[in-house]
């Protein structure tokens, strides 16, 4: 599995604020290395967040998202919600991490 | 009639003031907007990813001795990580020299794990064993976040390092005659739109020493203080400062002592 | 009687001696420090085009590495000597032309590249002018280590004196200010004659955006 994410979730007044920090090079495929060769594209393609087994966010990332992406979003939820974040990248590599809304 | 005249004069003056100061305003708003942007990205500092990896490495057996770093003495006793970075560089009895965080970690890797320090010195930044070092540094400095910078110059070797660092700070060289002081010895200066801390005074030194190591957004990398100093010297058109060499420790000592009393804000987040 | 006089004499001469000593020790150039020198030679290695010769200081660099003495009253004589020494190194343009192409000058002013250990020997070196100076008012990303050069020619005029002064200043700023922060562009062959003529045009061509 790829490098771990940092997932934090805090609940306030029925709204859960989720913060996700992902470790990924997110190569657009447009850059060239010092020798002039194009660095192949390699980026997170899809992201899925479930709270207690139900989808709360689906994302289609791509080369426009920069390195080590930080995602912050809110959804209607409660303390103790089990949040599971998964992503798949353009090479088929995967990563899943969890957190509990506090 | 008189009121119209006054009104006309007032609005005319306003227009003149606005056009004259528009370039100044444009300039000021550029730096203000950059400050706002920095505030916005302050959350979600990718340094946390390095810190998490570093904590794992601290506790993972490695090297020919297959040992962890959990007995490493960073100045507050074996295994005490909390608050240690805030008091570095410092003199260590066992090596009989003043060491910064990275050179001290190399000592621990060598003594506890049997790892070859020369491999660490020779590795390019962000690669090989240096990748481990960067993660461990992120972990260690996070555990000093919020503490006061508190380095001592009581030991004669510490005092000597400080004086050598002060002299190195002012040492001009290279085809551009640059020293650290060329850019970092005056208040209110900037290169392009990048503010330069005045490292000769406490306030500025705390801004410099207190915010590095940091994740550098422009390069997408976590830079330790050694890497920051290394790249400064590159920009100064100097030759290459050897990793963990005395000049890097002397400069660190000079900056840290000058920054004493400031707050440790590492790991930072930089453009 | 004699004892009292001697006491007074001793006190006064002691005081004079102490003052003299204080003056001498406070305002001498910093001493050569072998331990410091060893630290510098041991701490660096050559890399790419940046050799260890770069930390062999010339007289100007040595002098300016002691900012306390360099800026003091006692340092004034040395300052003048350094300025004259740098002035004598300046060469006027070999083709007699002072003003080149301001468009090229702007590119040179914008580029901060070259001369580092990651640069190739044949890489073009930029002037890095915007790092420290405001120049074309349209460019908002400028530094403030040096004075603003906006309206340079417009404000000063285009006389031969201004042109020569500006040429000299870009070639070797230390001819006018011993410890100027500005690199000695011609002395260290950072910019060639053509490039300096182009930067001159940026500042002193009446058609340059700097002078609109």
Predicted confidence (pLDDT) per residue in A7-59, tens digit: 999 999 999 999 999 999 999 999 998 788 999 999 999 999 999 999 999 99
Interface chains of chain C (3 or more CB pairs under 8 Å): B
pLDDT at C17: 61
Q: Which of C102, C107, C109 is nearest to C131 (CA)?
A: C109
Predicted confidence at residue B6, as pLDDT, reads 60
User: Confidence class of residue A3 from pLDDT cuts 50, 70 and 90?
Assistant: confident
pLDDT (tens digit, 9 = 90+) per residue, B241-250?
999 999 999 9
The pLDDT, as a whole number, for residue B2 is: 59
Q: How far is CA B148 from CA B24, B261, B265, C169, C198, in A?
A: 37, 6, 9, 45, 51
Q: What residues in B contact C33, CB-CB < 8 Å?
A: 167
Positions in chain B short of pLDDT 70? 1-31
Chain A residues 37-56 within an 8 A CB cutoff of chain B? none
* pLDDT at residue B175 in the model: 98
- For C12-100, list the strands marked E by DSSP: 44-45
| B41: exposed, middle or buried (Cβ count in 10 Å: 0-12, 13-18, 19+) | middle
Q: Does A25 touch chain B (CB under 8 A)?
A: yes
End-to-end CA gap in chain A: 26
pLDDT of residue B89: 98
B233: left (phi over 0), alpha (psi -120 to 50) or beta: alpha
Q: Do B49 and A67 touch (CB under 8 A)?
A: no
Q: Which of A20, A21, A65 to mutate to test the interface with B (most CBs of B within 10 A)?
A: A21
Q: Which residue, A74, A59, A84, A21, is CA-closest to B43? A: A21
B93 near B77, Cβ under 8 Å?
Answer: no
- B232 is an active site residue: yes
pTM, full prediction? 0.87
> How many beta-carbon pairs under 8 angstroms link A with B?
31
Do A102 and A9 meet the contact criterion of CB atoms below 8 Å apart? yes
Lowest mean pLDDT among A94-98, B24-28, C34-38: B24-28
**What distance lies between CA C65 and its chain's CA centroid?**
12
DSSP H/E element including B100: none
φ and ψ at residue B240, rounded to 5 degrees: -80, 120
> Given CB atoms, is B56 within the 8 Å cutoff of chain C?
no
Of B23, B179, B191, the CB nearest to C145: B191
Q: Which residues of chain B are within 8 Å of residue C132 when distances are taken between CB atoms?
A: 191
**pLDDT score of B33:** 78
- If pLDDT is split at 50, 70 and 90, which confidence band does C4 have? low
Confirm or reject contact between A98 and chain B (CB < 8 A).
no
Q: Would you call A66 an interface residue with chain B, using a CB distance cutoff of 8 Å?
A: yes
Residues 6 or more apart whose Cβ sits within 8 Å of residue B155: B90, B91, B98
Nearest to C188 among B172, B175, B192 (CB): B175
**CB contacts, 8 Å: C86 with chain B:** none
Contact B44 A70 (CB under 8 A): yes
Residues of C in contact with B23 (CB under 8 A): 137, 140
- Contact assignment for C181 to B168 by CB distance below 8 Å: no
Burial class from Cβ neighbours inside 10 Å (0-12, 13-18, 19+) for residue B155 reads middle
- Structure tokens that stand for A36 in this block: 């002039």
Say if residue C157's pLDDT is above 90. yes
Helix C160-171 to helix C193-204 angle, to the nearest 10 degrees?
A: 130
Q: Distance between CA atoms of B172 and B236, rounded to whole angstroms?
A: 9
Q: Which chains touch B (3 or more CB pairs under 8 A)?
A: A, C
Cβ <8 Å between B46 and A25? no
* Half-sphere exposure in the Cβ direction for C175 (13 Å, CA): 20
Dist CA A38 CA A30 (whole Å): 7
Question: Quick one: pLDDT at residue B27?
Answer: 58
Whether B242 and C54 lie within 8 Å, measured CB to CB: no
Q: Is residue A101 within 8 Å of residue A8, measured between CB atoms?
A: no
CA distance B43 to chain A (A): 9
Residue-level pLDDT at B50: 95
Query: Mean pLDDT, chain C, as a whole number?
Result: 92
Contacts of A66 in chain B (CB under 8 A): 220
Partner-chain contact A6 B49, CB within 8 Å? yes
CB–CB of B191 and C181 under 8 A? no
- Cβ separation B175–C57 shorter than 8 A: no
């Amino acid at each position: 599995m790829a490098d771990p994410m940092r997932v934090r979730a805090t609940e306030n007044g029925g709204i859960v604020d989720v913060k996700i920090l992902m470790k990924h090079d997110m190569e657009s495929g447009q850059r060239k290395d010092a020798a002039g060769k194009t660095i192949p594209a390699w980026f997170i393609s899809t992201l899925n967040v479930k709270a207690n087994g139900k989808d709360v966010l689906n994302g289609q990332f791509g080369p426009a998202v920069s390195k080590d992406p930080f995602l912050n979003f809110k959804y209607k939820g409660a303390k103790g919600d089990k949040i599971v974040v998964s992503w798949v990248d353009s090479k088929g590599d995967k990563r899943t991490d969890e957190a509990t809304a506090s | 009639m008189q009121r119209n005249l006054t009104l006309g004069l007032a609005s005319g003056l306003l227009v003149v003031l606005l056009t004259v100061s528009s370039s100044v305003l444009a300039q000021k708003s550029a730096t203000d907007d950059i400050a706002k942007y920095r505030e916005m990205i302050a959350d979600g500092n990718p340094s946390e990813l390095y810190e998490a990896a570093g904590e794992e490495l601290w506790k993972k057996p490695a090297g020919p001795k297959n040992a962890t770093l959990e007995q490493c003495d960073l100045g507050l006793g074996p295994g005490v990580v909390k608050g240690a970075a805030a008091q570095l560089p410092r003199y260590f009895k066992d090596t009989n020299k003043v060491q910064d965080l990275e050179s001290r970690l190399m000592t621990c890797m060598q003594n506890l794990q049997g790892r070859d320090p020369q491999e660490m010195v020779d590795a390019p930044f962000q690669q090989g064993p240096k990748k481990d070092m960067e993660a461990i540094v992120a972990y260690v400095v996070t555990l000093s976040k919020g503490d006061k910078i508190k380095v001592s110059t009581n030991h004669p070797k510490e005092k000597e390092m400080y004086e050598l660092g002060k002299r190195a700070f002012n040492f001009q060289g290279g085809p551009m005659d640059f020293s650290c002081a060329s850019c970092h010895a005056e208040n209110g200066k900037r290169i392009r739109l990048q503010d330069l801390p005045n490292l000769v005074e406490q306030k500025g030194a705390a801004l410099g020493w207190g915010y590095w190591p940091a994740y550098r957004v422009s390069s997408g990398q976590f830079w330790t203080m050694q890497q920051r100093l290394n790249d400064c010297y590159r920009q100064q058109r100097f030759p290459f400062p050897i990793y963990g060499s005395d000049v890097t420790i002397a400069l660190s000592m000079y900056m840290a002592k000058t920054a004493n009393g400031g707050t440790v804000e590492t790991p930072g987040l930089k453009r | 009687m004699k004892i009292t006089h001697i006491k007074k004499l001793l006190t006064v001469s002691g005081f004079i001696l102490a003052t003299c000593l204080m003056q001498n020790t406070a305002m001498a150039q910093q001493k050569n420090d072998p331990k410091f020198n060893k630290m510098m030679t041991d701490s660096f290695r050559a890399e790419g085009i940046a050799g260890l010769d770069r930390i062999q200081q010339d007289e100007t660099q040595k002098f300016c590495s002691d900012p306390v003495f360099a800026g003091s009253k006692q340092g004034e004589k040395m300052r003048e000597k350094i300025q004259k020494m740098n002035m004598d190194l300046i060469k006027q343009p070999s083709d007699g032309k002072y003003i080149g192409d301001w468009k090229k000058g702007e590119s040179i002013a914008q580029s901060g590249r070259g001369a580092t250990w990651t640069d190739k020997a044949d890489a073009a070196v930029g002037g890095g002018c915007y790092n420290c100076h405001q120049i074309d008012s349209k460019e908002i990303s400028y530094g403030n280590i040096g004075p603003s050069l906006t309206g340079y020619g417009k404000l000063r005029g285009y006389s031969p004196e201004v042109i020569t002064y500006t040429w000299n200043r870009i070639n070797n700023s230390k001819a006018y200010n011993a410890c100027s922060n500005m690199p000695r562009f011609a002395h260290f062959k950072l910019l060639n004659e053509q490039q300096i003529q182009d930067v001159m045009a940026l500042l002193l061509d009446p058609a340059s955006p700097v002078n609109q």
